[in-house]
């Protein structure tokens, strides 16, 4: 037995959104049904390097397949300027649950982008209006691309409005998608008045208030992944149908973490977790709903589910590099 090494290109090539989205939905269902084990994300803070490490282990059993793995990821904000390295890098170890053999070591950065997009698509499918045809994106970084790719899998998106302070990034995004969508630059408010909105920024001061969002907009709040980050105004969150991915993570470091710590939001303001909607214990969008918000922090079960999809395809196609990690050959 050999371990399969998959770089970012391999991960990208072996990820199909059409298959990844249902796999992520299965992961949410397994977690809700008690068929997943996911210890809390742990942090190693390194203020002397202006960064941190995070470990994210999980196991899940969907009934059709089971999988286990751990992602080791960092956020070092000085990397690009000082070392010409990405701010965020991740490594995924994907293991066989039955005997713990390391089936694959793969790039976790590309994996994270893909599964984050797929998670937004799952939430959008359950919470956006059925005929959604327009999508706004605030933040034109790398995450923006998979947000659009994924949401376009489950809604017939025609019009796209992208907003970012960096005009060059906006132009790059438009160039990438102008052959497929009617895509243009706009303000955050322009983006917020689309049927679906994904926010993928690192801001700590909210950039969207009640006047910046349509009456029936579904918002995927994807940017907040640490204490203090906050993209959506408190009044929007308080009035919306508010769905989270995980209670512990969202209250600690999700979109709701700041208003939660300030006592602006509490349990009564939460509609439920996305897993409850996926398994049918709670309804998704109803005719009475106005704005809906999905607070996504990113879960280890999503990484494991995505790694399962990538590994199965890479193994079938004989992609990647096999090597004898354990010296068993």
Residues identified as active-site: 71
Question: Is 229 annotated as a binding-site member?
Answer: yes
Whole-Å CA distances, 202 to 150, 180, 259: 21, 28, 16
Find the DSSP H helices in the chain: 8-13, 17-32, 79-83, 108-127, 142-154, 167-177, 188-192, 234-239, 247-253, 257-261, 274-278, 300-317
Question: Is 225 annotated as a binding-site member?
Answer: yes
Q: Hey, which residues does 269 pair with through a beta bridge?
A: none
Q: Among residues 158, 162, 161, which one has the least CA distance to residue 131? A: 158
Q: What does the DSSP assignment read for 280-291?
A: TSS----TT---
Question: Is 142 annotated as a binding-site member?
Answer: yes
Question: How far is 279 from 211, CA to CA, in rounded Å?
Answer: 33
Question: How far is 221 from 254, CA to CA, in rounded Å?
Answer: 9
Question: Is 223 annotated as a binding-site member?
Answer: yes
Residues 6 or more apart whose Cβ sits within 8 Å of residue 328? 1
Composition of the chain by helix, strand, coil, percent to 5: 40, 25, 35
Handedness of CA 261, 262, 267, 273 (dihedral sign): negative
What is the distance between the terminal CA atoms of the chain, rounded to a whole angstrom?
7
Exposed, middle or buried, 168 (CB in 10 Å: 0-12/13-18/19+)?
exposed
Question: Is 253 annotated as a binding-site member?
Answer: no
Q: Among residues 233, 219, 241, 242, which one has the least CA distance to residue 262? A: 233
Q: Hey, which residues does 185 pair with through a beta bridge?
A: 162
Question: How far is 70 from 51, CA to CA, in rounded Å?
Answer: 20
Question: Is 55 annotated as a binding-site member?
Answer: no
* DSSP reduced 3-state for 145: helix
Binding residues: 115, 142-143, 223-225, 229, 296
Binding residues for NAD(+): 115, 142-143, 223-225, 229, 296
């Amino acid at each position: 037995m050999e371990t399969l090494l998959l770089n970012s290109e391999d991960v990208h090539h072996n990820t199909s959104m059409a298959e990844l989205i249902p796999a992520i939905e299965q992961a949410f269902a397994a977690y809700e049904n008690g068929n997943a084990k996911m210890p809390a994300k742990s942090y190693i803070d390194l203020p002397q390097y202006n960064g941190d490490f995070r470990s994210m282990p999980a196991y899940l059993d969907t009934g059709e397949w089971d999988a286990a793995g751990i992602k080791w990821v960092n956020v070092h904000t000085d990397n690009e300027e000082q070392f010409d390295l990405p701010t965020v890098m991740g490594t995924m170890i994907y293991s066989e649950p039955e005997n713990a053999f390391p089936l694959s070591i793969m790039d976790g950065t590309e994996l994270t982008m893909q599964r984050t997009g797929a998670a937004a698509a799952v939430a959008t499918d359950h919470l956006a209006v059925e005929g959604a045809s327009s999508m706004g994106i605030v933040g034109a970084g790398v995450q923006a691309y998979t947000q659009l790719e994924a949401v376009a899998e489950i809604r017939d998106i025609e019009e796209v409005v992208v907003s970012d302070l960096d005009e060059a990034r906006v132009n790059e995004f438009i160039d990438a998608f102008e052959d497929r969508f009617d895509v243009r630059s706009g303000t955050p408010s322009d983006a917020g008045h689309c049927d679906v909105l994904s926010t993928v920024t690192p801001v700590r001061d909210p950039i969207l208030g009640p006047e910046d969002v349509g009456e029936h907009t579904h918002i995927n709040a994807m940017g907040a992944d640490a204490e203090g980050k906050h993209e959506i105004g408190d009044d929007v969150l308080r009035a919306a149908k508010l769905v989270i991915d995980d209670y512990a993570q969202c209250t600690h470091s999700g979109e709701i973490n700041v208003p939660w710590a300030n006592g602006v939001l509490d349990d009564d303001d939460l509609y439920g977790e996305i897993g409850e909607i996926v398994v049918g214990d709670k309804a998704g969008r109803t005719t009475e709903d106005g704005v809906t918000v999905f607070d996504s922090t990113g879960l280890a079960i999503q990484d494991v589910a995505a790694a399962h999809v990538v590994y199965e395809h890479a193994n079938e196609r004989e992609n990647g590099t096999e090597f004898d990690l354990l010296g068993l050959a």
